[in-house]
Structure 1
Amino acid sequence: MRAAEIRTPGRPPVVAERAAPEPGPGQVRVRVTAAPITPLDLLCASGESYFGVPATPYVPGVQGVGLLDGRPVWFATAAGMRPGDGSMAEHAVAASADVVALPVEADHALVAALGLSAVAAWRCLTGTGELAEGETVLVLGAGGVVGQSAVQLARVAGAGRVVACARSAAALKRAERLGADAVVRLGEDDVDALARRLGDAAGPVDLVLDPVCGVPAAAALRTLRPGGRLVNLGSAAGEEVAVPSALLRSRSLRILGYTNNELTAEERREALLTVVGHAMAGELTVGYEKVPLHEAARAWDRPGRVVVLP
């Protein structure tokens, strides 16, 4: 079969022929139809992740969509995190517990593009963030898949007002098309200036979904009403956020962390099928690019979500 191989950490994959994988105990083999290139794939393949330097060569791809005995499924792998191969090949193996049966009508490429990014957005909003009917949600990093998903899923979950933030004008226009009530362009503002602009656009905010951290998160905290929550699930704008103690205490604010790694297999399955259902109902989509497997190297670090089609 053909597969993308990471041979040297920090370099793009090489597409080559290799033997099809054989499932071991508790595993199944899936014929892959769509495999996204995600930030986690890039991080693991860099050799600089907290998982350590991966054993090479290996096939990247921590999630994918395919066919198991002719039935559509989504599946997860530990490629780059533990020894073993992932989804960017014509065939992949996965633990049976990490396979989720999909509706027959599901769009494989769209499900791959959404995947765990949309799961994270959904769980941050409805689980960790405890979104209540009619609340105002501020989405930082709305240009990414998590942010795009959050803009739409916040509305589905009952938000009364959704405000989106991103660095590019194109991302903001897309957020408006996806249903954002207002948008704010992130620039080089200091914390106070950005907080004023966010406050002008959003008014008092109940819930901030934060995949970026850094200055945007520090500014967003200042827009929260008493009892407001900020859920962090990424650090695209910096690893640290300055939080004045008086701000936290005077408004009884909550700063919460989220990772998909804490989900049980059943929680992940339920969330995935929920977002797939919203996608099939026309309530959820994201921007993505489809590329054939032989172009995986050229598309490896391309901006935006790329879905590889074996």
Structure 2
Amino acid sequence: MKAVQFSEHGDRDVIDYGDFPDPEPGRGEVLVDVKAGALNHLDIWTRKGLPGIDLEMPHVPGSDGAGVVTAVGEGVTRFAEGDHVAVTAGVSCGACEFCRHGEESQCVRFSIIGEHQRGVHSELAAVPADNLVPVPDHVDWEVAGSASLVFQTAWRMLLSQGELAPGEKILVLGASGGVGHAAVQIADFVGAEVYATASTEEKLRYAEDCGAEHVINYEEDDFAAEIRELTGRRGVDMVVDHIGAATWTDSLKSLAKGGRVVTCGATTGGRPETDINRIFWNQLKVIGSTMATPGEVDDVLELVWDGTFEPRVREVLPMSEAARAHEMIENREGFGKVVVRPDSEL
């Protein structure tokens, strides 16, 4: 088979699309004929080399993907040949205290397909059955292959962890990215008043189309100052910040007293300066979130499959152009998800 792969960490020139051994499904695994997959920022970090993660090389990236079941391994009963499936990338041990209480995303040995282990940006992928969800036959492959990671992440951040309520004010930073545009849609669905930032007027119009009522161009305006003005100096109840060091101080400034900031990542760095005085004086809450539980995944993807939520796709490229796909993510080009499909599918 052909697969996107790299044999060393580095810039985009380490990426290759070439021959790779065909996988075979082991016990509890399913062999998937991959039709489409999407990129996420973690694909960039994995390619560059994450401290503490020792990958087997060559490594196949990709945490999002969807396709058709072609074979099932021993012990698999949930899926059969011909089923349409999508990958949900979080792998938990199933035995620790968090797994036993239904919080698998907090598992002490939690890992991610495509980040800690072989991914699915390939013609074929052997995936644990527990990491697959059924996809209705009417759902397009680009949608099925790009929804799981960002929508489950945003769903858990806003609802399970952040407990966003109707009528609350929420600021979503980086609304043009995968998690950002999913968070805007989920917040609008809940009935919150949505504020969103992006870097161009085109991206802001897309954010409005996803449900944002107020938009701020962070390249031109101080978003914290704009939030104070738009809310009568009150601030918002929640900030969704997956940007990190570049925005953290202004995220705290944007919060009303008793507000909370929720984070699932730090694309500009994970060690920001922080204003502890502001946190305790204004009684702010800082909430971390990673991925989602199986039940949360099922809940949000049902709303994707029925069209309530829509993963916006900015570009569909052949897997042989994976380096260009990485470039689009790194340079923040366009709005929404970048999808890759095996060259044989185009």
Q: Give TM class, smaller chain.
A: 0.7 to 0.9
User: Conserved in 2, the CA contact under 8 Å of 1:292 and 1:309?
Assistant: yes
Report Cα offsets for 1:176-229 as digits up to 9, x if no partner.
22221111111387xxx5422222234531111111123423212222222211
**Within the alignment, does 1:227 sit opposite 2:255 as a pair?**
no
- 2:62 is aligned to 61
| Cα gap change, 1:87 to 1:140, in 2 (>3 Å) | same
Q: Are 2:234 and 1:207 equivalent residues in the alignment? A: no
Shift of 1:292: 1.8
**Which of 290, 297, 322 is residue 259 of structure 1 equivalent to?**
290
1:306 aligns with 2:301: no
For residues 10-43 of structure 1, what are the alpha-carbon distances to aligned partners after superposition, in whole Å with 9 as ceiling and x for unaligned? 1442111233211112211111011112211221
Question: Which amino acid in 2 is paired with 1:39?
Answer: H
How far apart are residue 53 of structure 1 and its match? 4.3
1:80–1:237 CA distance, 2 compared to 1 (3 A): closer
Structure 2 CA distance for partners of 1:238 and 1:57, relative to 1, 3 Å: closer
Of 147-156 and 101-110, deviating more is 101-110
> 2:190, 2:115 → 1: CA distance?
34
Selected match of 1:287 from 307, 313, 329: 313
Q: How many residues align?
A: 298
Q: Decide whether the 8 Å contact of 2:68 with 2:83 is kept in 1.
A: yes
Report the Cα distance in structure 1 between the residues aligned to 2:8 and 2:271, rounded to whole angstroms: 30
Paired position in structure 2 for 1:42: 44
Q: Say if 1:27 and 1:244 are closer, same or farther in 2 by CA, change over 3 A.
A: same
Given candidates 25, 30, 33, the residue that maps to 2:32 is: 30
Question: Is 14-23 or 279-288 further displaced after alignment?
Answer: 279-288
Helix, strand or coil at the partner of 1:131: coil
Instruction: Select 1:269's aligned residue among 297, 316, 320.
Output: 297
Distance 1:166 1:240, change over 3 A: farther
Superimposed CA distance per residue, residues 248-300 of structure 1 (whole angstroms, 9 cap, x where no aligned partner): 2232110111111xx44x235324xx245245324433233111223223333
| Cα distance in 2, alignment partners of residues 256 and 224 from structure 1 | 13
TM-score normalised over the length of structure 1: 0.88
1:194–1:109 Cα change, 3 Å: closer
Q: Structure 2 vs 1, CA of residues 248 and 108 (structure 1 numbering), >3 Å: closer, same or farther?
A: same
Q: State the shift of 1:58 in Å.
A: 2.5
What secondary structure, in the 3-state scheme, does the structure 1 residue paired with 2:315 have?
strand
Mapped contact 2:4–2:17 kept (Cα < 8 A): yes
Question: Alpha carbons of 1:299 and 1:93: their partners in 2 closer, same or farther (altered >3 Å)?
Answer: same
* Aligned residue type for 1:79: G
User: Do the aligned partners of 2:172 and 2:180 also contact (CA within 8 Å) in 1?
Assistant: yes
Give the TM-score, by structure 2 length: 0.79
Structure 2 residues not aligned, in runs of 5+? 70-80, 90-111
Cα distance change, pair 92–235 in 1 and its aligned pair in 2 (3 A): same
Q: Percent identity?
A: 32
Unpaired runs of 5+ residues, structure 1, are none
Alignment of 1:3 with 2:38, yes or no, is: no
After superposition, the C-alpha distances for 1:52-75 in whole angstroms (9 at most, x for unaligned) are 342211222123111111111112
Partner SS, residue 35 of structure 2: strand
Partner of 1:169: 201
Q: State the alpha-carbon separation in 1 of the partners of residues 282 and 194 from structure 2.
A: 21
Secondary structure in 2 aligned to 1:113? coil
Equivalent residue of 1:302, what SS?
helix
Pair 1:89–1:172, CA change in 2 (3 A):
same
SS at match of 1:227: strand
1: distance between equivalents of 2:224 and 2:296?
A: 34
Structure 1 CA distance for aligned equivalents of residues 119 and 213 of structure 2: 39
Q: Are positions 1:120 and 2:164 aligned together? A: no
> Aligned in 2, Cα 1:66/1:231: closer, same or farther, shift over 3 Å?
same
